Chains A and B, each alone.
Chain A
Amino acid sequence: SQQGEEDPQALSIQEGENATMNCSYKTSINNLQWYRQNSGRGLVHLILIRSNEREKHSGRLRVTLDTSKKSSSLLITASRAADTASYFCATDVSGGYNKLIFGAGTRLAVHP
């Protein structure tokens, strides 16, 4: 798999349920970031987790990072229809100039 691979590719849930998206990567990282993209629109930064951090929270978002497994997860709790979007993980690779390498994304659909 390539750097920054998310799974599942698509996720469909009901409002109020939790949504979990996973991301795996291959090389050492400075940090991992999650972004959201509404259809055809720009990228909105959600959360950054540094390589020495294991868990981070922001509102209804919870991100975990396991550097031994080179994986991260994004949990959205109590989802709302407005959370419908594509979610991307992006890795900031060690030794680089902070270019971000994006995964293919998870398309989340939250049904009312």
Chain B
Amino acid sequence: EPEVTQTPSHQVTQMGQEVILRCVPISNHLYFYWYRQILGQKVEFLVSFYNNEISEKSEIFDDQFSVERPDGSNFTLKIRSTKLEDSAMYFCASSPRLQGDFSNEQFFGPGTRLTVL
């Protein structure tokens, strides 16, 4: 069964460093998302992406964050200058979202645990 994959599974970085989290969505999906979950807290929406552009972003997704689909398969989240509070599990999700159907089942990857020291 197709699944969303994410690499790395765990990333440790120093405060102020740039990190890139990578995701390979399910191949025929058109909508892509990043969420994060700080330890012990809710899963929070960061950004949605469709047709090579951001369709919606949350307040968390400030200028330090960017997303890209550099080729036909990868979807990346970049954090330019990491802060301690960026430490969290980052989940990528994708959805087929059939045309005319406003219900989308989102399939999540296993997550990347980011630790900022």
Q: Footprint of B on A, CB under 8 Å?
A: 30-31, 33, 35, 40-45, 48, 50, 88, 90, 92, 96-105
Q: Is the CB of A103 within 8 A of B102?
A: no
Give the distance in Å from the alpha carbon of A50 to the alpha carbon of B26 in the complex: 23
Cβ distance A28 to chain B, nearest Cβ, rounded Å: 12
Q: Is the CB of A41 within 8 A of B45?
A: no
24 residue pairs bridging A and B, Cβ less than 8 Å apart? A30-B102, A31-B102, A41-B111, A42-B108, A43-B43, A43-B93, A44-B108, A45-B105, A45-B108, A48-B103, A88-B42, A90-B43, A92-B103, A97-B48, A99-B33, A99-B45, A99-B48, A100-B43, A100-B45, A101-B45, A102-B43, A103-B42, A104-B42, A105-B42
What is the size, in residues, of chain B's interface with A at 8 Å between Cβ atoms?
29
Query: Knowing A33-B105, A48-B103, A92-B104 touch, does A98 contact B97 (C-beta < 8 A)?
Result: yes
Interface residue B115 (Cβ < 8 Å from any Cβ of A): no
List 18 other contacts, CB 8 Å, given A45-B107, A48-B105, A50-B103.
A30-B102, A31-B102, A31-B104, A33-B105, A40-B113, A42-B110, A43-B93, A45-B108, A48-B103, A88-B43, A92-B103, A92-B104, A98-B106, A100-B33, A100-B45, A101-B45, A102-B42, A103-B42
Q: Footprint of A on B, CB under 8 Å?
A: 31, 33, 35, 41-45, 48, 50, 55-56, 58, 89, 91, 93, 95, 97, 102-111, 113
